[in-house]
Amino acid sequence: MRPFTLNYAFPSGLTTMVTPYSFDAARQLNVLPDGRPAVMDRELLLAAGTTTSTAGSQTHFDD
């Protein structure tokens, strides 16, 4: 018998997103192709959805 709560689970449909920024090890943050910190582009971050309450990593569920 499947646990009751799992009756309300469904495929999330989330796909791995290709984000237009990459990690700069020296500066210790993500940068855009032009070298600016990704956090300077608010619209980009909102569109990427990587700061939302459901954007958990694979290893951490505290959202």
Residues 29-58 that bind other proteins (CB under 8 A): 29-30, 37-39, 42, 45-46, 48, 50-58
Burial class of residue 27, CB neighbours in 10 A (0-12, 13-18, 19+): exposed
Kindly state whether residue 8 participates in binding other proteins, applying the rule CB under 8 A.
Answer: yes
Min CB(30)–other proteins separation in Å: 5
φ, ψ dihedrals at 26, nearest 5° = -70, -40
33 Cβ partners below 8 Å, 6+ apart? Answer: 20
Kindly state whether residue 13 participates in binding other proteins, applying the rule CB under 8 A.
Answer: yes
Summarize as ranges the residues that interact with other proteins (CB under 8 A): 1-14, 19, 21, 23, 25-30, 37-39, 42, 45-46, 48, 50-63
